[in-house]
Homo-oligomer: A and B are copies of this chain.
């Protein structure tokens, strides 16, 4: 399946879910081959031993980052935790193009980064210039870039839903409330009691209420397209007992018809963002499961002047690994859907 013209990719942090998903998705990309995988704790084992579902498709050893032969690598997908990611990325040789799936290069203000993530950034001067890889909005800016920051999963869904409304100035930006819900895989593969099946199944709860790190990222990006000043958002995520899936319920003020028109116009040619017809049944996370798609719907509220805008994505695909590949496609000047359009949602 590989050929000489294919680019060679290394996936850092391949023992986590976004790492494994990146490897899985790259199997279907005809211009890129995953040839190296890092994962400090598991170095020395085969990736397909850690993730049996990758057997046949990922029979490569997990290495320590330092052991990777960078001369043979063209592209790096960093699926490392924030903090670690920047520390590694800043040491990579210049010839590799980097797609960072962590939070490390999303915020442009180094002080905000430090406040939000609890440590100073190791390359603060770089923050202001790394492009924010939300391809439906900034794809054209990515061509030729050597480092792209992939948005967080919640910001991806939220921004796809709200950016056209803010940019077109058709919602009241003083009343933005985003009530978000995510499946458990969004919490990663880390070993915490709350992620055990026996604790996460048959129940649900909010978390990070009033304090979640994705709120500043959403505010930064909404403010960027707003005609007025800085925008504030109430952002409240909930943990839902599914593995994949993310849904944001945006409570906004304005005219629902206008909103629908703005969204439909904005994404008319976007291959992965689908604005449902007015009156369609609410989008379900399972309708995008395993794919890079986002579905958005708008509903007028009973209360005059209010509306509800809902977006669903698969947090591991459009919310991370799929969008990372979509960003790579833009960086290389390829069709943005390359390697991603073969995916049909898994239903039931």
Residues from chain B with Cβ under 8 Å of A27 in the complex = 344
Closest to A274 in B: B55
Interface membership of A189, Cβ < 8 A: yes
User: Residue among A24, A185, A307 with the most chain B CB within 10 A?
Assistant: A185
Chain B residues with CB under 8 A of A243: 197-198, 201-202, 348
Q: In the complex the two chains form, what is the Cα distance from A249 to B197 in whole Å?
A: 24
Q: Which of A56, A193, A206 has the most CB of B within 10 A?
A: A206
Looking at the assembled complex, report how far the CB atom of A145 sits from the nearest CB atom of chain B, in whole angstroms.
28
Residues of B within 8 A of A301 (CB): 210, 234
Q: How far is the CA of A225 from the CA of B201 in the complex (A)?
A: 37
Complex: chain B residue closest to A347, CB-CB: B53
1/0 contact string of A169-208 vs chain B (CB within 8 Å): 0000001010101011100010111011111111111110
Complex: A79 Cα to B344 Cα, angstroms: 20
Is A209's CB under 8 angstroms from B299's CB?
A: yes
State in angstroms the CA–CA spacing of A192 and B191 once bound together.
Answer: 7
A37 at the interface (CB under 8 A from B): no
In the complex, whether A154 has a CB less than 8 A from a CB of chain B is no
In this complex, how many residues of chain A approach chain B with their Cβ under 8 Å: the count is: 83
A209 touches B282 (CB 8 A): yes
Question: Which A residues lie at the B interface, using CB under 8 A?
Answer: 17, 20, 24, 27-28, 51-57, 175, 177, 179, 181, 183-185, 189, 191-193, 195-207, 209-211, 215, 232-236, 238, 240-245, 247, 249, 251, 274, 281-290, 299-303, 306-308, 310, 312, 316, 342, 344-348
User: A179-B236, A184-B201 provided; 13 other pairs, C-beta below 8 A?
Assistant: A179-B251, A181-B238, A181-B240, A191-B191, A197-B201, A202-B286, A203-B289, A206-B310, A209-B308, A210-B300, A234-B306, A240-B241, A342-B342
- Residue pairs across A and B with Cβ atoms less than 8 A apart, 30 shown, are A17-B198, A53-B344, A54-B344, A56-B274, A57-B344, A183-B198, A184-B201, A185-B348, A189-B193, A191-B191, A195-B198, A202-B242, A202-B243, A202-B245, A202-B286, A204-B285, A205-B312, A207-B282, A209-B310, A210-B299, A210-B302, A234-B303, A235-B302, A243-B348, A244-B346, A244-B348, A289-B346, A290-B346, A342-B342, A346-B346
